[in-house]
Structure 1
Amino acid sequence: MATYKNTRLFGGALVCDLPTNFADVSTLRQVPDNQEVWIDKDGFTSIIVEITERVGGPGSGAEIDGAALTTHLEDLVGEDLDSVKVWNTTPTLFTRLDEDIPAYTLIATQTPKSGVSGGSAPDFTAIILTLVRLEHVKTDILITINVPHIRGEYDEEDVDLELGKQGKLIGDAVDHASRIWETFRVKDWKLFSEI
């Protein structure tokens, strides 16, 4: 069972609980100003919180927000979109945000193109992407948990998303996402006018 600590993001303007065994990547290398990146010290999973300009037209709803989620996923995976399979998309409730702020989460997998695998390339990477739509400040917040599955580092028998078998790595990532949804809050709204 993972342990968590309340973590200040973007100088404390945002806060949420992150796993205690995750390290702030900015202490190791440069990270863009609009991102906070945390990586598992004991594995390969990363958590990225990114502030981006809001995409899509005004208003909210399944169609508008679903299109925005697709746009962000396409930006995330770039030209490798054909190697991505989305398993589910669901509205997401953030306990400490106003309930009228729409949020959605998708779970997807990305499989490297053939010929790319080998060495330490993952068999596939699970992606848990949560989108928070802050229309009043023209901002989207993306919370992405990337879970590379590298041969020998996970039990292949435990993972079959078509059968609903997530395995330990994805299960842990879902737990991390759930904890973020429960604890994420905005402490300083001025952040969104600065980035």
Structure 2
Amino acid sequence: MTVLAQDIWRPVELYGGAIAAQFPNRFVDVSDFRPVPDHQEVWADGASDQSIVVEIAEHSDVPDSNVGRFMFDDLAVANEASSSSIADIKQLGTAEVPHIQQGTYICFVSGTQQACKGRDAGLDRANTVQLLLCIIRLPQHSSDLLVTVNAPSYISPSSSAAQHADAQGQQAAAAGQAAAVMQGVLRSLKVQDWGLFGA
């Protein structure tokens, strides 16, 4: 039985209930263990070293046609990635994100980044991470809502993540299910209080 078949989903409240979604049970709220910036919700699964990040960003004036690449590259800089590669960029609609207002521009980007975890340094400690990014553009609220699923497809034996994550064989399986995690999150994502975004 794969990891995917074992996932049990539960409702979660983000930003004090302003956003509702469903996450697999195996993900826990990182803010219970360490500080997380107010504009982010970070949930992680220690066994697979996967994470789900929901982030409210200031609306970028980058055109819709370029925002996927722009945001992916911006994440690569933030992650201090030694390499970054985009596999696919596409527009999503209400079929994939049913609780977001029709006409909202939603962009999905998939790719990989090679980056070290936390305080690790050196290429020998770099992990290869499958990164799935969804950008929901909300110019009327001067915001962009970002949903990211990070799933290591290779964890360096020298990485600090190797001490917590399961064997390499499971990393491939975990990375393979990242798309299903993203799909489930987007299908359930619902803004319940638009005041979260200010104006």
Scaled to the shorter chain, the TM-score interval is 0.7 to 0.9
Q: Distance in 2 between matches of 1:20 and 1:190?
A: 28
* Equivalent residue pairs, number: 176
Structure 1 residue 135 corresponds to structure 2 residue 136: no
Match of 2:168 in 1: 154
Structure 1 residue 55 corresponds to structure 2 residue 60: yes
Q: Tell me how far 1:154 sits from its aligned partner.
A: 3.0
Q: Tell me how far 1:180 sits from its aligned partner.
A: 1.1
Q: One-letter code of the match for 1:128?
A: L
Q: Tell me how far 1:41 sits from its aligned partner.
A: 3.4
- Given that residues 108 and 127 in structure 1 are in contact (C-alpha distance below 8 angstroms), is that contact kept between their aligned partners in structure 2? yes
Q: Tell me how far 1:82 sits from its aligned partner.
A: 6.6
- Given that residues 48 and 174 in structure 2 are in contact (C-alpha distance below 8 angstroms), is that contact kept between their aligned partners in structure 1? no
Structure 1 residue 187 corresponds to structure 2 residue 187: no
Match of 1:89 in 2: 89
SS at match of 2:177: helix
Which of 16, 28, 37 is equivalent to 2:42?
37
Q: Distance in 1 between matches of 2:137 and 2:21?
A: 17
**How high is the sequence identity, in percent, across the aligned residues?**
27
Q: Tell me how far 1:178 sits from its aligned partner.
A: 0.4
- Given that residues 24 and 37 in structure 1 are in contact (C-alpha distance below 8 angstroms), is that contact kept between their aligned partners in structure 2? yes
SS at match of 2:175: helix
- Given that residues 40 and 46 in structure 1 are in contact (C-alpha distance below 8 angstroms), is that contact kept between their aligned partners in structure 2? yes
1:31 and 1:81, CA in 2 relative to 1: closer, same or farther beyond 3 A?
Answer: closer
- Given that residues 56 and 67 in structure 1 are in contact (C-alpha distance below 8 angstroms), is that contact kept between their aligned partners in structure 2? no
Q: One-letter code of the match for 2:11?
A: N
Match of 1:163 in 2: none
What is the TM-score with the length of structure 2 in the denominator?
A: 0.80
Match of 1:105 in 2: 108
Q: Tell me how far 1:111 sits from its aligned partner.
A: 2.4
Match of 1:74 in 2: 73
1:81 and 1:112, CA in 2 relative to 1: closer, same or farther beyond 3 A?
Answer: closer
What is the TM-score with the length of structure 1 in the denominator?
A: 0.81
Question: Which residues of structure 1 form unaligned runs of 5+?
Answer: 58-63, 160-166
